[in-house]
Amino acid sequence: MQITVTVNGSERTADVEPRLLLVHLLREVLGLTGTHVGCDTTSCGACTALLDGTPIKSCTMFAVQADGREVTTVEGLLQDGQLHPVQAAFKEAHGLQCGFCTPGMMLVGKALIEQNPSPSDEDVRWAISGNICRCTGYMNIVKAIQLAAETQAGASTTA
Amino acid sequence: MLPSRFEYHRPATLDEALQALASLEDAKVLAGGQSLIPVMKLRFAAPANLVDINLIPGLDGIEDDGGGLRLGALVRHNQIAVSSTVAARSSLLASAAPQIADPLVRNLGSVGGSLAHADPAGDWGSVMLAAGASVVLRRSSGEREVAMREFLVDIFTTALEPDELLTAVKVPVPGGKSGGAYLKLERKVGDFATVGVAVQVEMSDGTIGRAGIGLTGVGTKNIEAVDAQGSLAGAEPTEEAFAEAGRLAAAASSPVSDVRGSAEYKRHMVEVFVRRGLARAIESARA
């Protein structure tokens, strides 16, 4: 089946089997390997992508369901060679160790701070509760997302 | 993990979907996909045809018709969690929605899909039993309304016929003072419920009028605790009445021991949650 998905702002067309999962379209057909496969059972959130701006688990959606829609992956965070505030904040606040969960955490963080420009600890922990990290203990992930929110709020008041 | 091969159908209208269900052999409906896709990946399910209803307009609304709420089959869990209409009309639904699965699953998973999947560990079945809800089942030749207690037949089994589509859930909202709560025990966010209890009460002049109690994860389907409900009708809202209802609900449960806990522990938690749920529901009815 022929599908067209806008991935990170570019229209991508592919001929796929209906049973192909969105995560495999991203990784294997389009070569966007920043989206990870962790548990493959809808538990860990390593495969998180944004579907029309909303975080979803791309291992639990068929690629054909994304036909005509917009998907954002971690590769889409970089804008004109500049790190997205959430990427800069993860670097600054040591929000990662091994990095496996990081693309998912950053995408959830991006979606959160767009809706809630000043999230509390509780708000962040609630938002990332579908994403598992086995290294950090979450402390710095929470700080990083809050730092990104502050950076973004600062940028919008100075602009 | 790749599911088995299937033919993919994407009807643009409800009529097209109903025609597809009537004519296709071995077809499953794809709504939010958050239960169906995992079971297909594990090859517990291998339908020959998948009918994706996500593009059908009119299935994703939350409406308040005065007598109750009508939830379209494609209403996502998160839509219910953030709905001001739901918050104003049903403390039971509003308390249950944010406890379902995890935030990402809630963005896709739908209330209709969850009910049609009929997992005994699913949360909506208990909530809808407690609320006295019904589902609207539609086929090309017409539609019928089925009460939740008749809809849930057994494990992963409902009253849905192969050519029928669940199009909406109707949740009555009582006119007088009422309240509800959903209590869920889970090892971590997103795990199946170890035990869940849904409670809905209607007050009438300081005593309990109707009480609804639904149990999650403690039987082969979501259980309506009928005896416990009966013991509360007309009762004063006292600790003793709550405790008696808890005992009767625990007796109506039939949990099995597994990695999430022993049968004894789960039965005890039903008792505790019914007691707490009633106290919380009455508090919210008085608020």
- pLDDT by residue (tens digit) across B29-57? 999 999 999 999 999 999 999 999 999 99
CB contact under 8 A, B33 and A65: yes
What residues in B contact A20, CB-CB < 8 Å? 2
pTM score, whole prediction: 0.96
d(CA B57, CA B184) in angstroms, rounded, equals 33
B7-52 CATH: 3.30.43.10
Q: How confident is the model at residue A157 (pLDDT cuts 50, 70, 90)?
A: confident
What's the pLDDT at A158?
Answer: 64
CA distance A98 to A75: 18
Q: Does the pLDDT at position A154 exceed 90? A: no
pLDDT tens profile B158-194: 999 999 999 999 999 988 899 999 999 999 999 999 9
Please name the member of B3, B34, B101 whose beta carbon is closest to the beta carbon of A19. Answer: B3
pLDDT digits (tens, 9 = 90+) for A35-81: 999 999 999 999 999 999 999 999 999 999 999 999 999 999 999 99
Pick from B54, B104, B105, B192 the residue to mutate for testing the A interface (most A CBs within 10 Å). B104
Beta pairing class for B49-52 and B27-30: parallel
On whether both A7 and A65 belong to a single domain, the answer is yes
pLDDT tens column, B101-134? 999 999 999 999 999 999 999 999 999 999 999 9
Single out the residue of B227, B226, B228, B233 nearest to residue B210, CA to CA: B233
Is B211:B181 a contact under the CB 8 Å cutoff?
Answer: no
Q: What is the pLDDT of residue A159?
A: 54
Q: How confident is the model at residue A134 (pLDDT cuts 50, 70, 90)?
A: very high
- The boundaries of the domain holding residue A99 are 85-158
Question: Which CATH superfamily, name and number, covers B178-286?
Answer: CO dehydrogenase flavoprotein, C-terminal domain (3.30.390.50)
Task: Look at residue B191 and give its three-state secondary structure.
Answer: coil
Domain B62-172: assigned CATH number? 3.30.465.10
Task: Please check whether residues A107 and A53 belong to one and the same domain.
Answer: no
Question: Which is nearest to B169 in space by CA: B105, B281, B250, B86?
Answer: B86
Show residues of chain B in contact with A127, CB under 8 Å. 103
Average pLDDT over residues A130-145: 98
What is the 8-class DSSP label of residue A130? Answer: T
Using the predicted structure, report yes or no on whether residue A119 has a pLDDT greater than 80.
yes
A5: DSSP letter: E
Q: Does residue A53 sit in the same domain as residue A89?
A: no
CA distance A75 to B145: 48
Q: Characterize B168-196 residue by residue with b for buried, 16 or more Cβ atoms within 10 angstroms of its Cβ, and e for exposed.
A: bbbbbbbeebbbbbbbbbbeebbebbbbb
Q: Is the pLDDT of residue A143 over 60?
A: yes
Across residues A146-158, what is the average pLDDT? Answer: 89
**Distance separating alpha carbons of residues B153 and B148, to the nearest angstrom:** 10
- The helix or strand, by DSSP H or E, that contains position A145, with its residue range, turns out to be helix A139-158
